[in-house]
Amino acid sequence: MHVTSEQRFDDGVLEREFSLGEITGFLWTPESTSTPAPLILISPPPLGLGKMYPRLAGRARYYVADYGFAVATAELPGSGDRPRLAVLDQARADLRRAMEVGEPVTGKIVDALILPLVEKAVPEWQATLDALLALPEICGPVGYEGGIISIGVRLAAVEPRIAAAGLFAGSFVPTVMFEEAREVTVPLQVLLQWDDEGNDRQAALALFDAFGSKEKTLHANMGGHTGVPEYELDAGARFFARHLK
Amino acid sequence: MHVTSEQRFDDGVLEREFSLGEITGFLWTPESTSTPAPLILISPPPLGLGKMYPRLAGRARYYVADYGFAVATAELPGSGDRPRLAVLDQARADLRRAMEVGEPVTGKIVDALILPLVEKAVPEWQATLDALLALPEICGPVGYEGGIISIGVRLAAVEPRIAAAGLFAGSFVPTVMFEEAREVTVPLQVLLQWDDEGNDRQAALALFDAFGSKEKTLHANMGGHTGVPEYELDAGARFFARHLK
């Protein structure tokens, strides 16, 4: 892990940009702290870290400044400046075409859109976790939150260092993930946008139902995909504070 | 309103038992405060204040001590030491009989069980509100939370002093309440117990959907009717803090 730049903010947060092989990412930590901070991984939407930076950094700095967490995010495979993934580009083109002509988005398209990303992203998050937990100022237990729910499902199911996960009930969930969800047993807080245009509400409720976790909370809010209310930031922080501290 | 007894706790909370005509209740306020405190009404389950006191007082004192609210609760019509209501007793007997022999709980039983209670309880809450808001140490805006969701629906729909409501998606909701829910426009936080034995999950989701409020959040948690997780106390307090302060 190489730190490529760093910046100190007057809210007491140190931001470091890092690279780890082909992966680039950001790490936010308390500038001064006597004890290691529990880590939260934020898996970004696949729109490129550059575009997402303001939202991610705002969220991360709130977690660090107000709750004393360390927070890291990393560019997903095929996103931002990383090499394109042909299989994903093809799936996205198929999705666009289906939506343009009003055809149903088939399970085949959804699988092609999500599963290769899950296959690549999950081991990358595990490698990033290895590198981050080697830093003396960071410790477990680790929280995960992210936008592509299937990545969160797989990671929470296979990676024992993840102790709690905040998930966003999004669209395009491969059928196999409903099975994998039963393997997830850590505490969950799941956000659902009630009027999410591209999202099947009943499927989202069924996925919530499928999780094996004894403690799981669904927060359903009004509005579309991008309309998550600001107060869910605080609710997320308090969820992680309960489980990581 | 007559104060019949008072007690000071070492968390800085003053508890007063009061009577208002036939109604008895409790009021919890900060013992010392320079400005009036926004009020939260807690409508109790119809099991008698005596039986519910430990839970209600714990909840109220948390709101007062940690968030500076004033909190009041009052005995529902036909509950505790108040005169029985023949119509409710009859409906409860009909409900028990239907459940014992495994017959469906008809809309007629549900209406008889809930609507007379709503008719009586809502004007009582409004009279209690008049009396409480006349006290110099209490002010609006007012929050409401309570267990019988139909009382909350009617009160939030007709009483403009209610600025936010925390509701518990319970069983036995008369059909007419789905219509009245459309008239509710204040911010809502609705608790749903995902595995509530006596509760129809789909009906609860439909009622949540029916509310006219632009800001409404559903918190669904695992477990049965009495299994609401402790952390929802904090989530409730923060919901009211956003809207009453």
Residues in A touching B209 (Cβ below 8 Å) = 194
Which of A111-115, A197-201, B109-113, B206-210 is predicted with the least confidence, judged by mean pLDDT? A197-201
pLDDT of A206 above 90: yes
CA distance B170 to B118: 14
Cross-chain Cβ contact A215/B194 below 8 Å: no
% of residues, chain A, pLDDT over 90: 89
The pLDDT confidence band at residue A200, using thresholds 50, 70 and 90, is confident
Could you tell me if residue A12 is left (phi over 0), alpha (psi between -120 and 50 degrees) or otherwise beta?
left
% of residues, chain B, pLDDT over 90: 88
pLDDT of B226 above 90: no
The partner residues of B192 in beta bridges, in order of sequence, read B220
Q: Which is more confidently placed, B34 or B165?
A: B165
Letter string b/e over residues A120-137, b meaning 16 or more CB atoms within 10 A of that residue's CB: bbbebbeebbebbeebeb
* pLDDT given for residue A225 in this prediction: 86
Burial class from Cβ neighbours inside 10 Å (0-12, 13-18, 19+) for residue A4 reads: exposed
- Closest Cα to residue B25, out of B118, B122, B114, B125? B125
pLDDT tens sequence across A167-190:
999 879 999 999 999 999 999 999
**B217 in contact with chain A, both atoms CB, cutoff 8 A:** yes
Give the DSSP letter of residue A230: T
pLDDT of A56 above 90: yes
Secondary structure (3-state) at B245: coil
* pLDDT given for residue B147 in this prediction: 80
The pLDDT confidence band at residue B34, using thresholds 50, 70 and 90, is confident
* pLDDT given for residue B198 in this prediction: 74
% of residues, chain B, pLDDT over 70: 100
* pLDDT given for residue A197 in this prediction: 79
- Angle separating helix axes A231-244 and B231-244, nearest 10 degrees: 150
pLDDT of B24 above 90: yes
* pLDDT given for residue A196 in this prediction: 85
Q: What is the mean pLDDT of residues B219-232?
A: 93
Q: How far is CA A31 from CA A20, A99, B71, in A?
A: 22, 47, 41
- Closest Cα to residue B63, out of B92, B100, B21, B26? B26
CA distance A222 to A224: 7
**B242 in contact with chain A, both atoms CB, cutoff 8 A:** yes
Residues 6+ apart with CB under 8 A from B112: B87, B90, B91, B94
The pLDDT confidence band at residue A207, using thresholds 50, 70 and 90, is very high
Complete DSSP assignment for B168-217: E--S---HHHHHHGGG--S-EEEEEETT-TTS-HHHHHHHHHH---SSEE
Q: What is the mean pLDDT of residues B43-68?
A: 94
Query: How far is B70 from chain A, CA to nearest CA, in Å?
Result: 23
Q: What is the mean pLDDT of residues A206-230?
A: 95
Query: How far is B194 from chain A, CA to nearest CA, in Å?
Result: 9
Cross-chain Cβ contact B221/A216 below 8 Å: yes
Map A160-182 to HEC letters: CCEEEEEEECCCCCCHHHHHHHH
pLDDT tens sequence across A135-162:
999 999 999 999 899 999 999 999 999 9
Decide: A27 and A72 in contact? Cβ < 8 Å: yes
Backbone angles phi, psi at B49, to 5 degrees: -65, -30
* pLDDT given for residue B197 in this prediction: 79
CA end-to-end span of chain B, whole Å?
A: 26
Decide: B13 and B26 in contact? Cβ < 8 Å: no
pLDDT of B76 above 90: yes
Of all helices (H) and strands (E), which one includes residue B74?
Answer: strand B70-74
pTM: 0.90
CA distance B134 to A220: 37
* pLDDT given for residue A34 in this prediction: 83
Asked whether the bond before B123 is cis by omega within 30 degrees of 0, the reply is no
Q: What is the mean pLDDT of residues B30-54?
A: 93
* pLDDT given for residue A32 in this prediction: 85
Q: Which ranges in B68-200 belong to alpha helices (H)?
A: 86-100, 107-133, 149-158, 175-180
**A242 in contact with chain B, both atoms CB, cutoff 8 A:** yes
Q: What is the mean pLDDT of residues A85-94?
A: 93
- Angle separating helix axes B49-67 and B231-244, nearest 10 degrees: 60
| ipTM passes above 0.90 | no
Domains of chain A: 2-83+120-244 (3.40.50.1820)
**A185 in contact with chain B, both atoms CB, cutoff 8 A:** no
Q: Which residue has the tokens 């505790």?
A: B80
Q: What is the mean pLDDT of residues A7-14?
A: 95
* pLDDT given for residue B200 in this prediction: 87
* pLDDT given for residue B143 in this prediction: 98
Query: How far is B5 from chain A, CA to nearest CA, in Å?
Result: 37
Residues in A touching B235 (Cβ below 8 Å) = 235, 238
Q: What is the mean pLDDT of residues B182-196?
A: 96
The pLDDT confidence band at residue B32, using thresholds 50, 70 and 90, is confident
- Closest Cα to residue A158, out of A191, A188, A118, A189? A118
Which of A70-79, A152-161, B171-180, B197-206 is predicted with the least confidence, judged by mean pLDDT? B197-206
Residues in B touching A205 (Cβ below 8 Å) = 205
Of A208, A221, A235, the CB nearest to B235: A235
The pLDDT confidence band at residue A69, using thresholds 50, 70 and 90, is very high
Cross-chain Cβ contact A216/B222 below 8 Å: yes
* pLDDT given for residue B199 in this prediction: 80
Asked whether the bond before A141 is cis by omega within 30 degrees of 0, the reply is yes
